[in-house]
């Protein structure tokens, strides 16, 4: 079954995923990363491995604004703070799918 999507502003015609498969695994992802330092800097590939998604998904999320926060050190060097990725995951924690509808309606 294809992922549900919603359209973004008219400037971009690309759909933004409404829900992600790693939302169900947030607890286990956070537990696996619990021993690491929050100040560690991760590459796009490192974040993708942590989340269990492709590097392209992380890049697209960065470009469209729905991915974890990042630090741009230069035009071609992007890093993610492990603590920021962890906080982003925690902010995505939901109890039910009804919460997606409430957030989208606001």
Q: How many CB atoms lie within 10 A of CB 67?
A: 20
pLDDT for res 94? 76
pLDDT tens for residues 29-59?
A: 677 666 677 788 999 999 998 888 999 999 9
List C-alpha distances in Å: 32 to 2, 16, 49, 62, 84.
28, 27, 12, 23, 16
Structural domain count, the chain: 1
Cα(78)–Cα(76) distance, rounded to whole angstroms?
Answer: 6
pLDDT surpassing 90 at residue 77: yes
Is the whole-model pTM more than 0.85? Answer: no
The pLDDT of residue 101: 65
- Helix ranges restricted to H, the chain: 26-32, 44-51, 55-64, 82-91, 98-105
Domain, as residue range, for 84 = 5-105
């Amino acid at each position: 079954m294809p992922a549900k999507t919603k359209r973004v502003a008219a400037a971009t015609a690309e759909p933004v995923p409404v829900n992600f498969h790693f939302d169900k695994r947030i607890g286990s992802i956070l537990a696996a990363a619990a021993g690491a330092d929050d100040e560690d800097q991760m590459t796009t590939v490192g974040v993708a491995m942590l989340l269990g998604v492709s590097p392209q998904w992380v890049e697209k999320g960065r470009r469209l604004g729905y991915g974890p926060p990042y630090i741009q050190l230069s035009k071609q060097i992007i890093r993610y703070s492990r603590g920021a990725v962890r906080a982003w995951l925690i902010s995505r924690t939901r109890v039910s799918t009804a919460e997606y509808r409430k957030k989208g309606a606001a």
